[in-house]
Amino acid sequence: MYQLNQGTWHSDGFEPSTRNGEFDRQESTFRDWITADGSSGYKAEPGRYHLYVSLACPWAHRTLIVRSLKGLEAVISVDVVEPHMGEEGWVFGTYPGSSRDTVNGLRTLHEVYRMADAHFNGIVTVPVLWDKQRRRIVNNESSEIIRMLNTAFNAWGRHQVDLYPKPLREEIDAINRSIYDYVNNGVYRAGFATTQTAYEQAVVQLFEMLDVLEARLAEQRYLVGDQITEADWRLFTTLARFDTVYHTHFKCSLRRLVDYPNLWAYTRELYQIPGIAETVNLDHIKHHYYTSHPTLNPKGIVPIGPQLDFTAAHDRDRFTKPESERNPT
């Protein structure tokens, strides 16, 4: 595993952590919080904070989506690592769509982690929310970063956009848990399983959950009724990658996303919301997954397909009509 051990970089090959053949995702380490009033120790201010992301990573993708929806592009700056993750882990560079480290001038993301904590232990992940003023990492947990972006910066962003409204929080949290366990993390549990039993369990649970979501979206426009919430965007980043990488690369091959009429139409609708298409980079996604996991794809060959049209008509707006006038799916 590529990781820091007491601040020293170890690159002894890519081998995801497993337990009894099952993929074991490690917890995020930096868990501080930005608030509008600064009571947390980190005050929301324009220009103070910076995101380090990968366009390939579904977890980092969430943060770019919320940054766009909230209109925070001029408030929070971004640097993008190259899609290939090799012996140096995530690196900054010149691959199209990537950037240099414009804040700290470093070459690798693990150097950013070491700047924040000279004795850091653990894997180096994206996204990273960086404080330019205190020169340290605030948070590297995507689910928490998107909630900070949703509320803390309302003075400079679209305050009317609320992806985690109070009346819906209990329902959002409940569906988030299921989607994380069986879909967001489920594809990784399938792809990185080291036993047949662990793999089959993950795949069965994944597609059982997709079946549940397909039925849910046959009855309502979004995951929590008629309003887009963070739950939709947390699911979207996995669905946007499903047929391109997870179906083949992670052997999630019982069905394709395009075989689910409601899920596929729902994915297209979300993709077509202004500002979202610009956050989806299939070149980075394919290049990362197919070249960064040598145990899964030793030759590093990147497939040229599949051909997907995220811009095709979706007909999800039928849910704005009275039920008696809706077209059958």
Residues designated catalytic: 57, 188
Secondary structure of residue 223 in the 3-state scheme: coil
Q: How far is CA 11 from CA 8, 237, 259, in A?
A: 10, 28, 39
| Euclidean distance between CA atoms 282 and 58, whole angstroms | 12
Per-residue CA distances from 228 to 19, 36, 266, 326 (Å): 36, 24, 11, 20
Residue 242: DSSP 8-state? I
Q: Taking the alpha carbons of 33, 93, 286, 284 in that order, is the dihedral positive or negative?
A: positive
Whole-angstrom Cα distance, residue 215 to residue 329?
11
Assess contact for 205 and 182: CB atoms under 8 A. yes
In sequence order, the β-bridge partners of residue 210 are none
65: which DSSP letter? H
- H/E element, 122: strand 122-123
Residues in the chain: 329
